[in-house]
Chain A
């Protein structure tokens, strides 16, 4: 009798990750099609519409690019944490609190000139994000509390904080009684590069490039790479693991918070709990598919931006639940991590061994 086992390859296959991503995409589209068939939705129309409204024409690229910006920044935030083996699952909360901090600046200086105000708001967003990661970072660095749980819990807290602000202290007096935060000052809006694609695209690329450069060229980045690959070596080399863990969490939070600031000045007009739209969570998928490497993040983010934008369009035009997009993203991740195993392993049929003691 034979059975299948996974046998480690001597060298991983080249191009395994892009191949795994494609495999995940195909897997997702097939399972998604199955789901749509079950509910009686027109599979071909749904996928065609998703393609048309995301990458199908130059008009729609703006939406996809703008959507890729927060996804890429969130993905970068998660992959920064991963350099130290940390899981920043709460990027969502940091994005929300970053946007909250930026809103606070907007409320304090409503008449400041646009460029000044935007810079202040983005700075505040980064600081806010870092603050939201401070507690989990300290708890992890000092006493080893799982950052997975703490960052996640703070996301729930951030959501409720914004809901509180909407209904109470920051409620829009001109909002006809609706719970809405007052809109940010009009002049605090990022300009457009082309069509509706805003400057945030350039800023995000600069942040990602800057981080890559920093990681490869600075002493801090060098130490980080050592600490990330071996805690023992790092301790021997006199690098404080505690300070590195805390530093990485703060940086990760700052990048996520910054994404919240970009959203507020780029596409959103006011603070609300929807401003993050699940970017923090999708950022985890983006980072995982990019193998936690900043260089891969923009490409995966673009693909995800397309899936999300396409997913929204099928609700308005075809009445299909936008949750299809969430399902597709999860399935891509499942398919890709499953397929990625095969770049390191191959399947072999072997004779079943009779166990002898």
Chain B
């Protein structure tokens, strides 16, 4: 007991495990958004795609009895939704902010609509933890890092793959070029529209997967407003991570820790209103964004230059 707080070893490890679990949730969505923004398309529909992924993922999971099918269905639902955004903002060149917000409303509404009858569903299709043989025996580290749902490992692999594709392949170079100066990329023979559609679709699939992870693992059930603004934290994480998969991962761990801390208060026997600590992740997001912007105020922005600018070849 330190300062009247029960910092048992077990509780601290539990907190760190939960931090990784929450980080997985944020990272999946933020990684998808990074890819989309790298191609020059801001998609503010993350929260909506996440909610729909959560509802569809839960329904598909309990109806088929397989969390894997839930994850795939949630991910597909996110991708389908994102195509609406791609059609209006990339295809037609409508304002990306408005179109993305419309997607958030649509996704939240759709999730409530189809999830209506599943609110008190007792059924579960939940991922079991997978221990990585050999590594899970390492004292402390094994317990914290190597006993998680398969989704966490998938998120790590996705992050590495995204980094590799973006930075070490021709397709990745094209994607980044499209996000910096679309006309130059076009002249170099890249199909701007196709790359942007693909990037938005991948982003949607990741956001949907993040939502499905909520209902097939983290929470395990469906209820209204389950996403609780975490999709927006994921959008903020992209800025925090300077549009780089690795730095976004660090941000996800930091914010994941804050979310976990709140959920673990009881265990630490801290006498503090959980409602007030509930605000912490959101306030932290603001503080971190302010600090980052303040530090970077005299440097060129790491944001892809073409974010928000529709491309029409005829008007080049």
A residues contacting B by CB (< 8 A) are 5-8, 35, 39, 87, 89, 135, 139, 143-146, 148-150, 152-157, 160-161, 163-164, 167-168, 281, 284-285, 288, 321, 323-327, 329-331, 333-334, 337-338, 340-341, 355
Contact = CB atoms under 8 A, between A and B. Distances in A.
B94 to A, nearest CB: 4
A157 B283 contact: yes
A53 B81 CA distance: 31
Nearest to A8: B315
B282 A338 contact: no
Given A5-B314, A149-B239, A334-B88, A89 B290 contact: no
Contacts of A285: 101-102, 105
B232 A326 contact: no
Given A8-B315, A326-B109, A327-B109, A338 B276 contact: no
B279 A149 contact: no
B278 interface: yes
Contacts, number: 143
B232 to A, nearest CB: 5
Contact of B110 (A168, A323, A334, A337): A323
B276 A160 contact: yes
A117 B32 CA distance: 50
Nearest to B92: A341
Contacts of A148: 44, 97
Given A139-B293, A164-B275, A323-B112, A330 B282 contact: no
B312 interface: yes
Contacts of B102: 285, 330, 333-334, 337
Contacts of B99: 334, 337
**For the complex, would chain A's binding face be called helix, strand, loop or mixed by DSSP majority?**
helix
B282 A157 contact: yes
Given A288-B95, A337-B95, 20 more contacts: A144-B293, A144-B297, A145-B293, A150-B286, A150-B289, A152-B232, A153-B233, A160-B278, A163-B278, A281-B101, A284-B101, A285-B101, A321-B113, A323-B108, A330-B102, A330-B106, A330-B109, A334-B102, A334-B106, A338-B94
Interface string B280-301: 0011011001100110010000
Interface string B220-240: 000000001100110110010
A149 B95 contact: no
Contacts of A87: 97
A340 B94 contact: yes
A160 B275 CA distance: 6
Nearest to B94: A337
Contacts of B297: 143-144
Contacts of B92: 6, 337-338, 341
Contacts of B285: 149, 153
B181 to A, nearest CB: 18
A152 B97 CA distance: 14
Interface in B70-98: 84, 87-88, 92-95, 97-98
